[in-house]
Amino acid sequence: MRVALGQFGGPTTVLNASLTGAWAALQDAGAHVWGIVGGSRGLRAGRWVPLLEAPPSWLTTAPGAALGSGREPPNPSSTPALITNLARAGFDGLVLVGGNGTMALGAALQTAARVQGVPLAVAGVPKTIDNDLEGTDHTPGYPSAASFVASAVRDLGDDLASMAGFEDVRLIEVMGRGAGWLAGAGVLARRHPDDLPQVVLIPEVPLDLEAFTEEVARCHARDGVVLVVVAEGVRLAGQGPLGLHGLDAAGGTTVLGGAARALAEHLRQRLGLRVRAESLGFLPRCLRLAQTERDRREALLLGRVAAQALLQGRAGMMAALPPRTPGLPTLDSVLVPLVEVGGRERRLPPEMLSLGPAFTQWLGPLLEIPEHWAPGSLV
């Protein structure tokens, strides 16, 4: 079997672990493995390199995308041409590691291959720190990122409490376009129900600016300082994201960012408080120190399971993690059809929107809590 293997979309701390799992499983089975260089662009341009040796030992723990990735959105009209290029190169297997857009591409390629009569089997490996992919309990990359967010918010809260009297409000911006899974991890920083952060803003709940302002004022009067976690995709009711700006000089490529700064300026003007806006930036998706053991093991597992699906002739499937059973000590996996998950954004369900017990009890077992998480004040 001749298989092309690629990484797509934004990196995670365990994206290369998924690559390692798929690569090793394919090679162990005697398949000829080729790496797609540069994600969607490499797939379109036919840029692939032979992966002749076994995966290097450093790859499992390395962040980023060793084959190169990127965010060029695939053009649906180019699907037949992609199938033709893969067939001409002799590939009869394709493994795509990515998020919901990548799974949609995989589903489209699998359908096109069947229509064109090309014997190509496609398999998907989920990844995204946003955790916004259907069909899996959670996505590789998310546990490490969520652990980092919870730890960072906890420590930034201790820092803010130390600066009471000098700084009043601190807003921490966290990645997350349309789903609040990652920003929601900030609630795990609380030692007590009313502890910092007092407010967490997520994209699923439209922001009522007046109610938010009143809540900040109330918390400041009670606690002296206010810590707010803001998902980058937060938006006012009926409006677009608060933070959106051009990535290039022409403004042709826009990215999210700046919601915390916008809200900080609003609070300064309305409440007259001393407000600081911070952003965790790309650290949740790339910090090597944040990578957790469980996340790495799950990424390896799903890479291996997806490769095995191809070898067994099970085309058009994504390897996934089933809903967790309390107390289950071992990792498990399932296969779900790509057509059932591709292009679908998984948001927080209604029972988790409050970020209360339903959410924390689901998330808590995924996190590796640092031992230093103890009360940070003697007074």
Catalytic residue set: 130
Q: Would you state the pLDDT for residue 239?
A: 82
pTM: 0.93
Q: Would you state the pLDDT for residue 325?
A: 72
Alpha-carbon torsion (8, 10, 14, 16), positive or negative: positive
CATH architecture of 2-141+290-346: 3-Layer(aba) Sandwich (3.40)
Q: Would you state the pLDDT for residue 240?
A: 77
Q: Would you state the pLDDT for residue 376?
A: 57
The answer to whether 236 touches 205, Cβ cutoff 8 Å, is no
Q: Would you state the pLDDT for residue 309?
A: 97
Superfamily of domain 144-282+351-366, CATH level 4: Phosphofructokinase domain (3.40.50.460)
Q: Would you state the pLDDT for residue 253?
A: 60
Which residues in the chain show pLDDT less than 50? 372
Q: Would you state the pLDDT for residue 192?
A: 85
What are the start and end residues of each CATH 3.40.50.460 domain in the chain?
144-282+351-366
